[in-house]
A and B are shown apart, each in its own frame.
Chain A
Amino acid sequence: MSTKGKAYIVGAYEHPTRKAPDKSLAQLHAEVAKGAIEDAGLTKDDVDGYFCAAGDTPGLGGLSMIDYMNLNLRHVDTTDTGGSSYLVHVGHAAEAIAAGRCNVALITLAGRPRSEGMATGTAPRAGNPNQPDLQFEFPYAPATANMYAMCAMRHMHEFGTTSEQLAWVKVAASHHAQHNEHAMLRDVVTVEDVVNSPMVTDPLHRLDCCVISDGGGALVVTRPEIAKSLKRPKVKIIGTGEAAKHQMAGHVDLTYTGGTKSGKAAFEEAGVTPKDIKYASIYDSFTITVVMQLEDLGFCERGKGGRFVSDGNLISGVGKLPFNTDGGGLCNNHPANRGGMTKVIEAVRQLRGEAHPKVQVKNCDVALAHGTGGSLGTRHCGSTVIMERE
């Protein structure tokens, strides 16, 4: 069953905080929920479906947050695929709404890794010993950054991608972030700034890596009849996809991501092609993440991502494919170390015509949000959402 056109994003809210030592994690979830519900013009009592990722939600699954917010629900989904969870949730919410399981779906994300002093990218994080891969990986000190670095290293080896090409991703993000008053990093940077920044884990420099921030975001998804009754611009969900990729029992291939499948599914359902996309939010945990996902989604051929992102091609008003016009994870924020939520939010702003005027894409009628959760170096889930302004 296709869910094309059966659900709309009517509420979107990004928390303005980037450092929240004075707020609890539960409070951040509730504040973004309130923001998105108010943005939609609905009330808390209208919410009958709740979607969150178990990993950034305090308590068992979503139960503590449902209790904290005193929600009265008939549908709950706590799917956790890491940073792509919230893109997955948009697809799942559309399915639940199409199946009549709920009318108004609330999706929340929040986190405070900055206040908690997490060395998010460079410190290996131990897991549960029952995690079957842990004993065969943790002794080697896999962190987030060196896993993505191994993807970059292989990409460079196979396709001739250069550090300068990767740097263009950050340069474009910084051009956008200068207009975002909430962004953590608002200075425009050059390719030289990126490649001359300290090496974190070869070949990724400090400026190839996203920020560590507190904050969060929320979305409200609903049925067409309710969307039409509201005063907000209508953002229709026309295609979604999700796909996990892993080590294939030892046949590891780090040159592509789950986006090859999730993107194909979303484009097929939507009935559009990459050429139709006026704006793209692409999860930018690292610069290499963007290059690989653009290839996998079909914006360019495999191996040509480095060339595609060069020369300002991702800068709004300049290049072929404006991306992450809020500054993305590289410059704006990365709440809970999970970038999928903010990707959807900025795409909704673009479709509504509510992005910053300096970065607003003209006639932005079809937009894509895509992300990856987990690690491209081991196992991850890609998820794609294509939306249309009605």
Chain B
Amino acid sequence: MAKERKIASPEPTVGSEPYWEGAREGKLLLRHCTSCNKVHHYPRALCPYCFSDKLDWREASGKGKVYTYSVMRRAPEPYVIAYVTLDEGIKMMTNIVDCDLDKVRIDQPVKVVFKPSENGQPVPMFAPA
């Protein structure tokens, strides 16, 4: 297991607060368009497919698999950055944590976990499922 690095805290913008509130409740939320019925990430105020402003939040299953990753070695605490393909079909940038850095693989099943950032705000990350 790698030593845990300090995680920079996200700075929410107007409209993104529910995403971070969800993270505090242990939920990974996806923005969903009620006009075209598609989900997107990262969350926007206007649907990036159809520009509708009729959007709600859907809780993601929290399950996915590694699309790609890299182990950054030139850092005080090496860490794994990745894109994970969620079961909902879209990808998000994240870190793979709670694992042996050298055992991460593309297509590996992972599940969401929440790690506290510097100010305590939990940030969604993924661990081997």
A residues lining the B interface (CB < 8 Å): 122, 124, 126, 129-130, 132-143, 145-147, 149-154, 157, 198-204, 247, 249-252, 254, 378
Contact = CB atoms under 8 A, between A and B. Distances in A.
Interface of B: 5, 7-13, 16, 39-44, 48-49, 67-75, 79, 81-83, 90-95, 106, 117, 123, 125
25 contacts: A130-B13, A132-B13, A135-B16, A135-B42, A136-B10, A136-B92, A139-B8, A139-B117, A140-B81, A140-B93, A140-B94, A140-B123, A140-B125, A142-B93, A145-B72, A150-B69, A150-B82, A153-B68, A199-B73, A200-B74, A202-B70, A202-B71, A202-B73, A250-B41, A250-B42
B92 to A, nearest CB: 7
A250 B49 CA distance: 11
Nearest to B48: A249
A42 to B, nearest CB: 45
A136 B71 contact: no
Given A132-B42, A134-B11, A150-B83, A201 B90 contact: no
Nearest to A124: B8
Contacts of A126: 8
Contacts, number: 115
Contacts of B8: 124, 126, 138-139, 141
B91 A250 contact: yes
B42 A136 contact: yes
Nearest to B14: A130
Contacts of A251: 90-91
Contacts of B92: 136, 250
Give 9 closest A-B pairs by Cβ, nearest first.
Answer: A250-B90, A149-B70, A136-B42, A135-B10, A250-B41, A154-B68, A249-B48, A249-B40, A252-B91
B69 to A, nearest CB: 6
Given A132-B42, A199-B71, 12 more contacts: A132-B13, A135-B12, A136-B42, A136-B43, A136-B93, A138-B8, A139-B117, A145-B72, A150-B68, A201-B70, A250-B91, A254-B83
A149 B94 CA distance: 15
B40 A250 contact: yes
B11 A122 contact: no
Contacts of A201: 70-74
Given A136-B92, A139-B123, A141-B81, A157 B10 contact: no
Contacts of A247: 91
Given A133-B42, A135-B10, A150-B83, A143 B72 contact: yes
Nearest to B92: A250
Nearest to B49: A249
Scoring A200, A204, A378 by chain B CB atoms within 10 A of each residue's CB, the highest score goes to A200
A139 B114 CA distance: 12
B35 to A, nearest CB: 14
A328 to B, nearest CB: 22
A139 B70 CA distance: 16
Contacts of A129: 11, 13
B67 A122 contact: no
A141 B68 contact: no
A204 B72 CA distance: 10
A126 B74 CA distance: 18
A378 B67 CA distance: 14
Contacts of A133: 42
Contacts of A199: 71, 73
B10 A138 contact: yes
A122 B74 contact: yes
Given A135-B10, A201-B74, A251-B90, A141 B49 contact: no
B80 to A, nearest CB: 9
A359 B48 CA distance: 48
A336 to B, nearest CB: 21
Contacts of A145: 72, 74
A147 B42 CA distance: 17
A124 B81 CA distance: 12
Contacts of B11: 129, 134-135
Contacts of B74: 122, 145, 200-201
Contacts of B123: 139-140
A91 B88 CA distance: 40
Contacts of A149: 70, 72
A122 B7 CA distance: 16
B72 A139 contact: no
A251 to B, nearest CB: 6
Nearest to B125: A140
